[in-house]
Structure 1
Amino acid sequence: MRKVLGVLLGLVLVGLLAFGASVPKIALILATGGLGDRSFNDQSYWGAERAAKELAERYGVPVEQIFSYVEPRSIADYEGYQREFARTGEYTIIVCIGFDQAPVLEEVAPDYPDQKFVVIDAVAAADNVASVVFNDWEEAFLCGVVAGLWTKTNKVGMLGGMDIPLIRRFYQGFSQGARWANPAIKPEDVLVRYVGAWNNPVLGKELSLEMYQAGADVIYGAAGKSHLGVFAAAEENPGVWWAMGTDVDQAWSTPEHADVIIASGLKRVDLAVYTEIMKAVEGTWQPGVIVYGMVSESRIGTGIAVGKEDAFPPYVVASYSLVDIPNWIVEKVVEAAKGILEGTIVIEHE
């Protein structure tokens, strides 16, 4: 009986395809940091892969038939990849990851008016582009709260990928959160260093060691693959130097460093990528700007992973960290999250 049902299902699928129910195709153009950052790019891939697996099961085809991705080595590669995918006319949606793809996409997208594009972390002004942005300063503020309460030196730091508005907003949120939680921390006590690249963990480690040696005992990473160097630096003095991840619970994505990662900011890039893909497939996709964050129409997309239990989901959720974070710190983070949601805490940012 099962064999008969299987054959019938196969015939139905073949019939659907024959009458025009074509298999959707997804293209993903990653940011220059590439896969392996266990954060921003990897999350983007996970979101697209999740959609591809669901669609592959739905249509009875291999994932590889639905999902294609590329890892540009430099910004100069973006235009070629965007045009290469678009000119085929085969892709239901082309997902472009990273703020620096937006200016290129503004030039490319109008040349392919029937092609749907998505850009993550920036706004591209074109009629066939959905631009997804996040309130990054919210996750950074919550990380600052944890850092401000955990520090023993009243000095903390942040490692940024590049000195650009996107990353400066992380720093602004982190600094305000640390000082909100711990008035003993002054603006000059929140150190920052910029790597100048998203894929240089060696330099990321050097700059992190510089901040640790300058007195910071907690460093927050917002530098893509480069901030893996923060974790490596903290491992040189475990129990004294601590680290914080971003975008995903990096105690989970980098379990080898779960002994020094006390918390991680959350930015649901995976959810955004998955959602835009499925909207395109289901026929509900629309161009325009989509904002994810606590203070947004969506009310989702940013938060923090800290402590052993979900304290205020989806904003304050459990982490895989091996470090015991006292309940009073988690409670203060929940207080901050509620303050952001209710508007009693307003995070200043450029």
Structure 2
Amino acid sequence: MTLVKTLFASSALATLASGVAMADPALIYDLGGKFDKSFNEAAYNGAKRWTEETGGSYKELEMQSEAQREQALRRLAETGANPIVMTGFAFSDVLTKIAPDYPDTKFAIIDMVVDQPNVQSVVFTEEQGSYLAGVMAGVKSETDVVGFIGGMDIPLIHKFECGYAQGFKSIKPEGKVLINYTGTTPAAWNDPVKGSELAKAQKSQGADVIYAAAGGTGIGVLQAAADEGILSVGVDSNQNHLHPGQVLTSMVKRVDNAVYDAFLAGTDLEPGVKVMDLAAGGVGVAIDDNNQALITPDVQAALDDAAAKIQSGEIEVHDYMADSSCPVQ
């Protein structure tokens, strides 16, 4: 039986405030919820795998508001949780402030670099995985118009957008990529109704494949695409099963591996930047029984060719965050 010490909202902070010494690792989910079928759920799956394989226990906390970040993180550190893993760039400022106060505690942050001697920063080459999704969309699109719907309008999500556009344009140089974001605040990650509305609007403009990089909001995008009879691309976790035969693929970020590896390392977690790229299996596209029928020989050939060239260095996918630009837009 897996052991999870689940901490929620105000009760979480009350539990932490008791000051009972604990040596368990801890996982803090970002806004959007543990079971968002995307980023947070991928993190949960990594922790779950660790408990199943080791019999260990861990603490977890679902963020309910921005105001909780510092208090929760500080109290976790004070109770001895080690290492403490957090999902999402939004923890970066708080972690930068707190990490020096707890030099004996190891921290891991996913999707942002925090330069502290007790912090491991895990970053992914989302642009590489998104390029592959774009290649697949380019082969499958019959209208030569595809869509991208991002969650919060931030540079990190532009990495997904730009990589996808590059991959699509490698197949359809004259094709068009429609782009929308659902907001500029963290609420953008959890608005499936808005995601659905944007997907329908893009379909009305000719898009026949829509990539959602929007956390829980993406659930609405995938649902609308299925309802409208077009294809979608999931993100972070494998979302192919949500609408079998209508999700072309999912750009998978192995957030689960990042959490699993951090928990396994325990207090020996190595600080510094850990890059999880295509060659290391950190990103990729999901093919399974739910989308196998969509992966025709021409799709597979284009996918295999692009993946091989990215790993060999022949194709260098531009990273939007390197210079805040995208060469195909």
Report the TM-score when normalising by structure 2.
0.86
**Which amino acid in structure 2 is aligned with residue 30 of structure 1?**
Y
Residue 322 of structure 1 deviates from its aligned partner by: 6.2
Q: CA deviation at 1:267?
A: 1.0
| Partner residue of 1:227 out of 207, 213, 218 | 218
The answer to whether structure 1 residue 349 and structure 2 residue 319 are counterparts is: yes
Per the TM alignment, residue 294 of structure 1 is displaced from its structure 2 partner at its CA by 2.3
Listed as ranges, the matches of 1:94-133 within 5 Å are: 94-133=84-123
- Structure 1 consecutive aligned stretches of length 4 or more whose deviation exceeds 6 Å: none
SS in 1 for 2:232: strand
Q: Gaps (5+ residues) in structure 1?
A: 1-21, 57-62, 307-317
Pick aligned residue for 1:183 from 173, 182, 186:
173
The yes-or-no answer on 1:33 pairing with 2:22 is no
1:290 aligns with 2:258: no
SS in 1 for 2:228: coil
Residue type at the aligned position of 2:40: N
What are the superposed Cα offsets for residues 201-247 of structure 1, whole Å, 9 maximum, x if unpaired? Answer: 11111111111111111000100011011111112222xx1111112
1:88-237 correspondence runs (5 A): 88-89=79-80, 91-185=81-175, 189-196=176-183, 197-237=188-228
| 1:279 has 2:265 as partner | yes
Letter in 1 for 2:303: V
**Cα distance in 1 between the residues matched to 2:65 and 2:30:** 9
For residues 164-206 of structure 1, the C-alpha deviation after alignment (integer angstroms, 9 at most, x for no partner) is 1100011100000000022231xxx101111121111111111
Paired residue type of 2:299: I
Q: Which structure is larger by alpha-carbon Rg, 1 or 2?
A: 1
Match of 2:52 in 1: 53
Aligned CA distance change for structure 1 residues 243 and 80 (closer, same or farther; 3 Å) = same
User: Which position in structure 2 is the counterpart of 1:245?
Assistant: 234
**Which residue identity lines up with residue 231 of structure 1 in the other structure?**
L
Distance in 1 separating the partners of 2:102 and 2:264: 21
Equivalent pair of 2:83/2:266 in contact (CA under 8 Å): yes
1:274 maps to amino acid: Y
1-structure distance, mates of 2:75, 2:22: 20
1:23 Cα deviation after fit: 8.3
C-alpha displacement at 1:290, in angstroms?
0.5
Q: Does the C-alpha gap of structure 1 residues 86 and 23 become closer, same or farther in structure 2, counting only changes over 3 Å?
A: closer
8 Å CA contact 1:258–1:323 kept in 2: the answer is: no
Aligned to 1:336: 306
Per-residue deviation, 1:75: 2.3
Q: What's the C-alpha RMSD, in Å, of the aligned pairs?
A: 1.7
Q: TM-score, normalised by structure 1?
A: 0.81
Q: Is the 8 A contact 1:262 1:323 kept in 2?
A: no
Aligned length: 296
* Cα displacement string for residues 101-123 of structure 1 (whole angstroms, at most 9, x for unaligned residues): 11110001111111111100111
Q: Which residue of 2 aligns with 1:263?
A: 249
How big is the shift at 1:319?
5.3
Question: Which runs of no fewer than 5 residues in structure 2 stay unpaired?
Answer: 1-20, 321-329
Aligned equivalents of 2:122, 2:290: Cα separation in 1: 28
1:221 to 1:323, Cα distance in 2 relative to 1, 3 A:
farther
> 1:49·1:67 contact (CA, 8 Å) conserved in 2?
no
Match of 2:3 in 1: none
SS of match in other structure, 2:96: helix
